[in-house]
A and B are shown apart, each in its own frame.
Chain A
Amino acid sequence: MQYEAIIGLEVHVELNTQSKVFCRCSTKFDAPPNTNVCPVCLGMPGVLPVLNRAVVESAVAVGLALNCTVSSWSKLDRKNYFYPDLAKNYQISQYDLPLCRHGSLEIEVNGQSKRIGITRAHIEEDTARNVHDIGGGESGVDFNRSGVPLLEIVSEPELRSAQEAYAYLLQLKQILQYLNVSDCNMEEGSLRAEANVSVRPVGSTKFGTKTEVKNIASFSFTQRAIDYEIKRQIQTLEEGGTVRQETRGWDDRSGTTVSQRSKESAHDYRYFPEPDLVPIAMDETWVKRIREALPELPQAKRARFIEQYRLSAYDAGVLTSSKAMADYFESVLKAGAAAKPAANWIMGDLQALLTAAKTEIESCSITPNHLSEMIRLIEDGTISGKIAKHLLVDMFQTGKAPKALVEEKGLVQISDISWLEQVAREVIVANPGPVSDYRAGKEKTFGFLVGQVMKASKGKANPKLVNDILKQQLAK
């Protein structure tokens, strides 16, 4: 039987505000345990939470970027459950009136674009972190993470493969990073994804029993974890079994998902309105102000790059993969370079240098002005493209301006015609074999002769002049 997978993703994103969602403690990630805590985020009785305005504004910005309807009236609710990461036995979240609803996100898989519905995006507080490896038969609780603002973004069950789920996550991450509302670092847990996965025979309109796949700690695991879970469910059904509704954790070592909660406790969270926090009323002026402050989003930027700079879809995709990269590219153009060479240098040699140095373009030592200046030096014949490749490495290592480095290292291209003619004559005399081959019509040996001249000039001869002079002399 042919099966299809039904996947919905729940993504939790830690917002990168300075302070927590309901108190003034810092959100800094790697502080020593229990040092960014206060009575509010420790869940002490009698304290009063006060909502951080920046959390609301970031959440609305994300909602707008995901084409959501922003609720004009929204409130916070208590979600009640007992767990050691939750000292007050309830998490402040949003239930029936989330801040953002009914959005969509466009993904592209195998050149096909598809619109995935976003059910809702709501604000909540992160819980404390439990540490299990401290020995002594006990677990430790660190409340630094308690109260860090979270945005939960829930997709419709409209993803049909692990590949689509992966594309959705990457696209979502790109948008969040463009908005600069989260680091989206899965390894550090600032972006966490849970997948609801079920399978059904193709043609059926009824959903199968779903499992919830958790503990996906990196983007690359997402696809593997979901793929595994789809196969597992299909196999279970094929063997005549039934899929059990449960939470399963991805175990990277074994490459499988493992059942997590043995006692399937009823998810009865008894939500009720949080009496300590007043409702959020979003008027049109406020929404408009947030909308106007939105940056150009990846999709729009990609389309503009193709249109305005005549770039291929591929090049535009790479250059807009991060806002920093796109900004860098446009700064290079603003400094005078043409789009095509700028794109090629950034995506090629510069990206290779960044990757090798494990750094990002934000902290690149080559300024956009310097890159533009280097491209100009190639175009006006001061240096060859080949020299430029070496020059770029020097620029990357020293942060110096290309002109200064060219002078310092004597990299200026040799365009002295009489000297080049002299070298060309010597090469012709020294290589009678290839010369006669060339004259007999073997065009290929011309490259060899050019190479000899370049070698004699230590790579600094102007290649175009060498070509011209050699051709001239060989025709004699």
Chain B
Amino acid sequence: MTKITKADVEYVAALAQLSLDEVTKERLVGELSDILSYMDKLNELDTRDIEPMMHVLPMTNVYRDDVVGPSLDRETALMNAPKTDGEYFLVPRILDIE
């Protein structure tokens, strides 16, 4: 049974800003459907008495103290920028003002 339509794949791809060719889309319809079918398999289990797992790590409360440490110098910070004026990371003009 197919759980995922091509439209679903296109929607998710758009959210992730991916452009997929038709072959890949068809492949993903199959793969994503398989994944969801496997979830159905898991749903067969009776989990009424099992506490939901909120997180994969069996740990809580890992914190750091509120102490300022060194930052990068600006030259290093901007080193991998596709474009910079020495102060800012430069990006194509944002028209959609916040």
Q: Is there contact, CB below 8 Å, between B96 and A279?
A: no
Q: Is there contact, CB below 8 Å, between B72 and A38?
A: yes
User: Nearest chain B CB to A471's CB is how many angstroms away?
Assistant: 68
Q: Is there contact, CB below 8 Å, between B54 and A97?
A: yes
User: Nearest chain B CB to A39's CB is how many angstroms away?
Assistant: 7
Q: A82-B17, A268-B15 are in contact. Are A249 and B97 (CB under 8 A)?
A: yes
Q: Is there contact, CB below 8 Å, between A139 and B90?
A: yes
Number of A-B contacts (CB under 8 A): 137
Q: Is there contact, CB below 8 Å, between A260 and B93?
A: no
Q: Which of A24, A32, A37, A139 contacts B91 (CB 8 A)?
A: A139
Q: Is there contact, CB below 8 Å, between B98 and A278?
A: no
Please tell me the size bucket of the interface on B: 35 or more
Q: Which of A25, A75, A137 contacts B71 (CB 8 A)?
A: A25
- In the complex, B21 has a CB within 8 A of chain A: no
- What residue of chain B has the Cβ atom nearest to residue A73's Cβ? B54
Q: A24-B69, A34-B77 are in contact. Are A130 and B94 (CB under 8 A)?
A: yes
- In the complex, A201 has a CB within 8 A of chain B: no
Q: A39-B72, A131-B88, A270-B15 are in contact. Are A139 and B93 (CB under 8 A)?
A: yes
- In the complex, B45 has a CB within 8 A of chain A: no
Which residues, 15 to 41 on B, are CB-close (under 8 Å) to A? Answer: 15, 17
Taking CB atoms, residues of chain A closer than 8 Å to B63 are 50-53, 56
Taking CB atoms, residues of chain B closer than 8 Å to A273 are 54-55
User: Nearest chain A CB to B80's CB is how many angstroms away?
Assistant: 8
Q: Is there contact, CB below 8 Å, between B66 and A52?
A: yes
Q: Is there contact, CB below 8 Å, between B55 and A278?
A: yes
Q: A33-B88, A53-B64 are in contact. Are A75 and B54 (CB under 8 A)?
A: yes
Q: Is there contact, CB below 8 Å, between A281 and B61?
A: yes
Cα A142 to Cα B74 in complex, Å, equals: 11
Cα A215 to Cα B87 in complex, Å, equals: 25
Q: A25-B71, A37-B71 are in contact. Are A140 and B64 (CB under 8 A)?
A: no
Q: Which of B54, B55, B64, B74 contacts A32 (CB 8 A)?
A: B74
- In the complex, B7 has a CB within 8 A of chain A: no
Cα A34 to Cα B73 in complex, Å, equals: 8
Cα A449 to Cα B81 in complex, Å, equals: 82
- In the complex, A126 has a CB within 8 A of chain B: no
User: Nearest chain A CB to B14's CB is how many angstroms away?
Assistant: 9
Q: Is there contact, CB below 8 Å, between A132 and B97?
A: yes
Q: Is there contact, CB below 8 Å, between A143 and B89?
A: yes
- What residue of chain B has the Cβ atom nearest to residue A270's Cβ? B15
Cα A80 to Cα B17 in complex, Å, equals: 12
User: Nearest chain B CB to A71's CB is how many angstroms away?
Assistant: 11
- In the complex, A19 has a CB within 8 A of chain B: yes
Taking CB atoms, residues of chain A closer than 8 Å to B57 are 278
Taking CB atoms, residues of chain B closer than 8 Å to A141 are 88-91
Interface string of A128-159 (1 = CB under 8 A from B): 00111010111111110000000000000000
Taking CB atoms, residues of chain B closer than 8 Å to A23 are 69
- In the complex, A14 has a CB within 8 A of chain B: no
- In the complex, B83 has a CB within 8 A of chain A: yes
- In the complex, A233 has a CB within 8 A of chain B: no
- What residue of chain B has the Cβ atom nearest to residue A144's Cβ? B71
Cα A36 to Cα B78 in complex, Å, equals: 12
Q: Is there contact, CB below 8 Å, between B94 and A84?
A: yes
- In the complex, B50 has a CB within 8 A of chain A: no
Cα A55 to Cα B63 in complex, Å, equals: 10
Q: Is there contact, CB below 8 Å, between A19 and B68?
A: yes
Taking CB atoms, residues of chain B closer than 8 Å to A51 are 62-64
Q: A260-B97, A273-B54, A273-B55 are in contact. Are A34 and B89 (CB under 8 A)?
A: yes
Q: Given contacts A32-B87, A260-B96, could you give 15 more A-B pairs where the C-beta distance is less than 8 Å?
A: A19-B67, A24-B70, A32-B74, A33-B88, A52-B65, A54-B65, A75-B54, A84-B91, A138-B90, A138-B92, A260-B97, A261-B96, A270-B15, A273-B54, A278-B55
Q: Which 8 A-B pairs have the closest CB atoms?
A: A140-B88, A24-B69, A54-B66, A53-B63, A281-B60, A141-B89, A139-B94, A278-B59
**15 residue pairs from A and B, CB less than 8 Å apart:** A17-B66, A19-B67, A32-B74, A34-B87, A35-B74, A53-B63, A54-B66, A80-B15, A130-B94, A134-B90, A137-B92, A139-B91, A140-B85, A140-B91, A278-B62
